[in-house]
Amino acid sequence: MPATIRKASSQVFLHYASAFEWNTLLGYFAARATPGVEGVRNERYWRTVRVDHRAGVIAVAHDAGRGGLGVWHSPSLSPVRAQLRASLRRLFDLDTDPRPIVEHLARDPRLAPLVRQRPGLRVPGAINGFELAVRAILGQQVSVRGASTLAGRLAAAVGEPLPSSLDLPAGARDSGLSHLAPTPARIVEAGVDRIARIGLPRARAATLVHLARAIADGIIGDLAPGDGAEAKAEQLLELPGIGAWTAQYIALRALRLPDAFPESDLGLRKAMGGMSAIALRHAAERWRPWRGYAAIHLWTAK
């Protein structure tokens, strides 16, 4: 990354094991980037972040020669660098060794060509579980592009503007970064009516508020990996407007459950030759305990 990026910023390097499909992962994030909050530019992933009440901006680039990701961040994030590092490792699924996953999934003739073509493919994670859950709800019954548009409108309407005094890495403003992703408290404060004005059905706006309140009140807790992740996935289903697809998508990307599998997903069914959800569920049994990795291979298949 050019020296201009390093100016007014700090650096972290994140190693990964085995192969790593950076371009595919970057393309996945680019297609789903929330305008104003994140974006892909010049083969780098940019985004605003809030870590332990500290706001900042990060830029991430691949360094194949060193086998890792170079991360440049605002100096404001230096005191929380350890937490930032952990979040980024989850975001890019860096702690997974894909070799045993590839070996297992390659036993299925349908998946074998896909996993052998991209043996380093990871499951794109989330830097913040609530942010990912909001995106999943916004994506119900709309296109990927439509969900991105809604997410950008929500961030502009409810998210906190990026502080003008923040010392940013060079290029951050050019990447269109302007807001921090909305927190549960800001969603609850905004209320259903204000959120619906971004172009959401009122019922879906209410789902966002219900989720935000459940997290803010500690009913579900933060949507982070670790002990209790399976229970959190089940609790999501108790909220109005969250069905199996949404809960499984959140479980896969935010809760990091490797066997989570949204079997009703239209893209997965098309990739498997137009299977019904029931047929796909049966076919996916042989992929356990890595059904989530099978899903990302199918979603990104060319």
Determine the residue type at 146: G
Answer whether 192's CB lies under 8 Å from 209's CB.
yes
Residues paired with residue 12 on neighbouring β-strands, in sequence order: 71
Closest by CA position to 137, among listed 211, 63, 34, 233: 211
Q: Where are the alpha helices (DSSP H) in the chain?
A: 3-6, 22-31, 81-91, 99-105, 112-117, 129-138, 144-158, 184-196, 202-216, 229-236, 244-253, 266-271, 277-284, 291-299
3-state secondary structure of 10: strand
Residue matched to tokens 């979603």: 299
DSSP state of 286: G
- Burial class of 267 by CB neighbour count within 10 A (0 to 12, 13 to 18, 19+): middle
Residue matched to tokens 């298949």: 301
Report the distance separating Cα 156 and Cα 150, nearest Å: 10
3-state secondary structure of 70: strand
Q: Which of 93, 95, 217, 265 is catalytic?
A: 265
265 is catalytic: yes
3-state secondary structure of 48: strand
Mind telling me the catalytic residues? 265
